[in-house]
Structure formats: C-alpha cells, structure tokens
C-alpha cells in the first residue's frame, strides 16, 4: 500500500501534525481500530466492564456512555495526539505504536460514531478564534463543518492567514485616516 502523503505540518498537537492536504480516512481508520483497539474497546465501541459491571476496565469510545461532543477528544487533533502517545495501551510518547496517519484515520472513524451531544455555543463568542479543527460551526472562514472536522487543513489555514492580513491592513488604513 502506498502511504498517503501528509504534506507539511501545520501545527503540532502532542506528537502529531495536522493533516495538511488530505482528509483523514474513516475506512482505513476502521480497519486499524479492528486490528489494534477493538479487543479492549469493543466491536461496537462499548468498552468492557469489570465482572460486576460497577466500572469500566476499558472505557467506551462511542455510544451512550462515551465522551460527549463537548469533550476535547471530539476534536480530531486531540484524539489523534492522545492515542499516538497512549494507545494501544502500553504505547508512549517515546515508543508510539501508531503512525501519524493511523492515528488521524482512527480519530476520524471513532469521532464519526454516535455519542452524547453536548454543545457549548457560548464558548466561542468570537467564531474567528475557533481552533482550526473545532468540529462544530459556524466558522468565519466559510469552510464546511466536514472539512473542519476531518481536514484537509492547509486550505483553511491559508484562507485564515489571508483574512488576518486583510484585517490588519484595514486597521492600519483606519489608523492612518484617523491621523489625517
Ligand atoms: C490492552 C487494552 C487496550 C487497547 C488495545 C487499547 N486501549 Fe484505549 N484504553 C485502555 C485503557 C485501560 C484506557 C483507560 C486509560 C486511563 O484511564 O488512563 C483507555 C483509554 C482510551 C481513551 C480515552 C477514553 C476517554 O474517554 O477518556 C481513548 C480515546 C482510547 N483508549 C483509544 C484507543 C484506541 C484508538 C486504541 C487502538 C489504537 C486503543 N485505545 C487500544 C485500554 C486499551
């Protein structure tokens, strides 16, 4: 199999770089999940209880008891960064067991599954300040929720930079006009 090129790193979150030029792929993510995660987190993401069902030995990754859409893990960069450094159980920052690409693809697969919905619209009064992979719109840059969720991120980053530059320019112009 030919690895998809990840392109340039946009920003580093934990040890993974944001997917620059290709979106994360849920299909490949599902395969890696079945291979490397399912034995602990379940074939339906339900996790595994201890024998008297009082607590989870392995936490659920989707379904009614999993983390919510308001959790940090619901951001693809956070999920990918966390699992690259910690999963499968036994992996670490210095001894990762997933490639960046695998981490992104699993993140896309898992974060597409159903989970409790919790939205914090008021967290971002200034929508232009939302992180690039913040999974819930609206956005100031005109890109879709789909692209903010799975990438590719490079076109969004470029547009945001251009918007920022325009803004700075018009501020400068206003300053000059005010001084006249
Ligand atoms: C050998 C068992 C095992 C395997 C295999 C495993 N995990 Fe885990 N996973 C755990 C345990 C145990 C925890 C709880 C860790 C803790 O609380 O510190 C966990 C926690 C997590 C969490 C945090 C969930 C939350 O709600 O906080 C995520 C995400 C996760 N695992 C993803 C994965 C992915 C993706 C894979 C496959 C690449 C994987 N795990 C493979 C045992 C495993």
57-106 confidence digits (pLDDT tens) = 999 999 999 999 999 999 998 999 899 999 999 999 899 999 988 999 99
d(CA 60, CA 57): 9
- Global pTM reads 0.87
At 146, phi and psi to the nearest 5? -55, -50
Residue 132, classed as helix, strand or coil, is coil
Residue 13, classed as helix, strand or coil, is strand
Task: Tell whether ligand 1 has an atom less than 6 A from the beta carbon of residue 18.
Answer: no
Going from the Cα of 82 to the center of ligand 1, the distance in angstroms, rounded, reads 9
d(CA 143, CA 149): 10
> Predicted confidence band at 13 (pLDDT cuts at 50, 70, 90)?
low
Q: What is the pLDDT of residue 6?
A: 47
d(CA 87, CA 180): 61
At 91, phi and psi to the nearest 5? -75, 160
- Domains in the chain with CATH codes: 25-118 (1.10.760.10)
Task: Tell whether ligand 1 has an atom less than 6 A from the beta carbon of residue 109.
Answer: no
148-168: average pLDDT: 90
Task: Tell whether ligand 1 has an atom less than 6 A from the beta carbon of residue 103.
Answer: no
151-167: average pLDDT: 90
């Amino acid at each position: 199999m030919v690895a998809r090129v990840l392109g340039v790193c946009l920003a580093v979150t934990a040890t993974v770089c944001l997917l620059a030029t290709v979106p994360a792929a849920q299909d490949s993510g599902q395969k890696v999940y079945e291979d490397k995660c399912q034995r602990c987190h379940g074939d339906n993401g339900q996790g595994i209880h201890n024998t008297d069902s009082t607590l989870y030995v392995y936490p659920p990754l989707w379904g009614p008891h999993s983390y919510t859409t308001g959790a940090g893990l619901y951001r693809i960069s956070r999920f990918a960064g966390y699992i690259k450094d910690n999963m499968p159980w036994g992996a670490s920052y210095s001894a990762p067991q997933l490639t960046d690409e695998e981490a992104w693809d699993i993140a896309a697969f898992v974060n597409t599954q159903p989970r409790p919905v919790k939205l914090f619209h008021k967290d971002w009064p200034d929508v232009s300040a939302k992180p690039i992979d913040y999974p819930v719109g609206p956005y100031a840059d005109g890109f879709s929720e789909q692209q903010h969720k799975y990438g590719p991120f490079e076109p969004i980053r470029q547009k945001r930079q251009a918007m920022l530059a325009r803004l700075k320019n018009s501020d400068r112009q206003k300053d000059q006009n005010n001084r006249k």
